[in-house]
Amino acid sequence: MDILRRSLLSLGLTALLAGSALSGPASAEPQSTITVASTTSTEQSGLFKHLLPTFTEKTGIGVKVVALGTGQALDVGRRGDADVVFVHDKAAEEKFVAEGFGTKRHAVMYNDFVVIGPKADPAGAKGSDVTAAFARIAAAKAPFVSRGDRSGTHAAELRYWKDAGIDPVAAKGGWYKDVGQGMGPALNTASAANAYILADRGTWLSFKNRGDLAILVQGDKRLFNQYGVMLVNPEKHPQVKAKEGQAFIDWLVSPEGQRTIADYKIEGEQLFFPNAEPGKS
């Protein structure tokens, strides 16, 4: 009888283990992994930590993020060292697609840029006109930190200087400091120097080392910051994981992906606003 009982118990345990093996662990390893070249703002704001577990759980596809400035991220795509590019410089993105490096550009979400500066605002930059603020900062020769890294934020900053009729390159070495770094390190530099800086709102809201800095300029329609996503063209780079990369893009622009983006908040404030239009670029 004891032998029979032990045999039945053994068979039951074997069946249980077999069932567990079939269903897999709750946190199973991804079946495949794609590389997404993206911006420091999407990574340092914490958005990817919020998005990617949901996507991986749904699809079994893991995502490795390479966070760079937009220009550098597009270069990674041009070399075929990423499967997807997720950045925020529409003109550069459209050029990337026109040159055949990306298959199609999809709008995903937006937020806005803000001008950060010392609460005392020695340049008198505060307001809702970004070019007027830049002109006042330059006139006062107030310390200004530029990312200087070919990022979408850097490209926007250069447009604002141009609109203000100012050449900041001539000021390098003086009040204008070009750091060649991502948004987080650049904000750290601005905080230490009590300087002005252009930042995306998402990274600013998640930034802890604010020192005496605050948002001084916001609300100008020119501060609108659109993000787009593109599959790297597998015809140029056959190693691209086109099926998995397209699955990531399709999820981002799907109702579920868009809801997940909208749900990401810090202290109740939404960081990114979904605006995908399926079928449109």
Count, residues in the chain: 281
DSSP letter (8 states) at residue 265:
E
Q: What is residue 28's predicted lDDT score, i.e. its pLDDT?
A: 56
* Partners of 227 in the β-ladder: 109
Q: What is the pLDDT of residue 2?
A: 46
pTM: 0.83
In tens, the pLDDT along 105-138 reads 999 999 999 999 999 999 999 999 999 999 999 9
Residues 138-189 pLDDT 10s: 999 999 999 999 899 999 999 999 999 999 878 666 899 999 999 999 999 9
Question: Which stretch of DSSP H or E encloses residue 226?
Answer: strand 224-232
Residue 230's contacts (CB-CB under 8 Å, 6 or more residues apart) are 77, 84, 85, 86, 93, 96, 97, 102, 103, 104, 105, 106, 249
- 25/51: higher pLDDT: 51
> Percent of the chain, pLDDT > 70?
88
CATH topology of domain 112-223: D-Maltodextrin-Binding Protein; domain 2 (3.40.190)
Residue 17 clears pLDDT 70, i.e. is over it = no
Quote the pLDDT of residue 168: 84
Mean pLDDT of 22-37: 69
pLDDT tens-digit series, residues 217-261 = 999 999 999 999 999 999 999 999 999 999 999 999 999 999 999
The answer to whether residue 268 scores a pLDDT higher than 70 is yes
pLDDT at 21 (0 to 100): 36
In the prediction, which pLDDT does 8 show?
Answer: 37
pLDDT at 98 over 50: yes
Nearest in space to 193 (alpha carbons), one of 225, 258, 146: 146
> Are 142 and 166 contacting, i.e. CB atoms less than 8 angstroms apart?
no
Tell me: pLDDT of 13 over 50.
no
> How confident is residue 90, by pLDDT bands cut at 50, 70 and 90?
very high
- What are 78's two structure tokens? 């041009």
CATH topology of domain 32-111+226-274: D-Maltodextrin-Binding Protein; domain 2 (3.40.190)
12 pLDDT exceeds 80?
A: no
Q: Which part of the chain has CATH 3.40.190.10? A: 32-111+226-274, 112-223
Is the pLDDT score of 10 beyond 80?
no
| Average pLDDT score over residue span 82-94 | 96
Q: What pLDDT digit, counting tens, does each position of 55-75 carry?
A: 999 999 999 999 999 999 999
Residue 170 pLDDT: 80
